[in-house]
Amino acid sequence: MIRVEDLSVAFRAGGRVVPAVRGVSFAVPKGAAFGLVGESGSGKTTVLRTIAGLIDDWDGRIEVDGVPMGAKRDRAARRQLQMVFQDPYGSLHPRHTVARTLAAPLRLHGVGERDRRIDAALADVGLDRRFRYRYPNQLSGGQRQRVAIARALILEPAIVLLDEPTSALDVSVQAEVLDLLDRLRRERALTYILVSHDLGVVVRLCETMAVMRNGEVVETATASAFRKGAVATDYARGLIESSRGYRRETRMAEVAEAGIRTT
């Protein structure tokens, strides 16, 4: 169970205060998958990073399995919560091979049978043994993203925070990854929070989702309500509408109005 109550996060940058998250609340029962969607820059990554304990300065209340955040979490508790970062390039060590990247968490937590686990974790995301010896800059974008997913899952955590985990994957590999996440959830009652701009992916994996805009949750709805278009805000309706595809005529009128100049 993850409970977030009235969470606010502000960054200080260049003498200014940037209110990134403003009074966000939601609860995710054990074994559930919760989606966070919405505007680029609205604070989704910041919410995940705060839950993962990567941001020190925040207000509100966060509870993971009854333990309030801020209290010291021991190694076993930390192992239970893993995150797949939005930016796989930035989150993988550039001088570590794939095998070393995957071995590191196993070693840290004293887990045995490392070779077997590494091969299995790679196979789960559609990568064969050859990739063990590659460095991040020797992988394609989607291959890097799959290594990041494998790293988060290799410790068999109870909670996984997924920040745009399939944004660089073609739809067939994406389907494999979503199937894998579904299967793990059924087998081990994993809890997920999934951030994605792809509403199709979110309704595929999650039962409930929150829509964020400008630091706030503007609406929380079930995936089936989203499927039916039965949402309360114009903003969520706009997202559903835009998911159907690009509309040349409407958009060109917008550009003409804004008078965009390049050189």
Q: Which residues bind ligand ATP (CB under 6 A)?
A: 11, 13, 18, 20, 40-46, 86, 137-143, 168
Binding residue for another protein, selected from 5, 6, 27, 41, defined by CB under 8 A: 41
Write down the least CB distance from residue 164 to ligand ATP, Å: 7
Work out whether 45 is an interface residue with Mg ion (CB under 5 A): yes
Write down the least CB distance from residue 167 to another protein, Å: 5
Cα–Cα distance list, 225 to 29, 75, 187, 208, 240 (Å): 19, 39, 27, 9, 11
3-state secondary structure of 81: strand
130 binds, among ligand ATP, another protein, Mg ion, none (CB under 5 to 8 A by kind): another protein
204 binds, among Mg ion, another protein, ligand ATP, none (CB under 5 to 8 A by kind): another protein
226 binds, among ligand ATP, Mg ion, another protein, none (CB under 5 to 8 A by kind): another protein
Binding residue for another protein, selected from 149, 204, 210, 217, defined by CB under 8 A: 204
| Candidate ranges 27-35, 50-58, 66-74, 161-169; the one touching another protein (CB under 8 A) | 161-169
Write down the least CB distance from residue 206 to another protein, Å: 11
- Give Cα 173 to chain centroid, integer Å: 17
Spatial CB neighbours of 117, under 8 Å, sequence gap ≥ 6:
102, 106, 111, 154
d(CA 50, CA 33): 18
Write down the least CB distance from residue 19 to ligand ATP, Å: 8
3-state secondary structure of 17: strand
Binding residue for another protein, selected from 66, 110, 112, 245, defined by CB under 8 A: 245
d(CA 57, CA 37): 23
Beta bridge partners of 62: 4
Q: In what order do the strands lie in the sheet with 67-68?
A: 16-28, 2-13, 59-64, 67-68
17 binds, among ligand ATP, another protein, Mg ion, none (CB under 5 to 8 A by kind): none
Spatial CB neighbours of 153, under 8 Å, sequence gap ≥ 6:
82, 121, 124, 160, 180, 184
In our burial notation (b when 16+ CB lie closer than 10 A, e otherwise), range 2-33 reads bbbeebbbbeeeeeeeeebbbebebebeeebb
- Give Cα 138 to chain centroid, integer Å: 24
189 binds, among ligand ATP, another protein, Mg ion, none (CB under 5 to 8 A by kind): none
Q: In what order do the strands lie in the sheet with 216-222?
A: 81-84, 159-163, 191-195, 33-38, 208-213, 216-222
Write down the least CB distance from residue 9 to ligand ATP, Å: 8
| Candidate ranges 7-15, 27-35, 74-82, 181-189; the one touching another protein (CB under 8 A) | 7-15
For another protein, the binding residues (CB under 8 A) are 11, 13-14, 16, 18, 37-41, 44-45, 86-87, 89-90, 130, 133-134, 137-138, 140-143, 146, 164, 167-175, 178, 197-201, 203-204, 214, 226-227, 238-240, 242-248, 251-252, 254-256, 258, 260-263
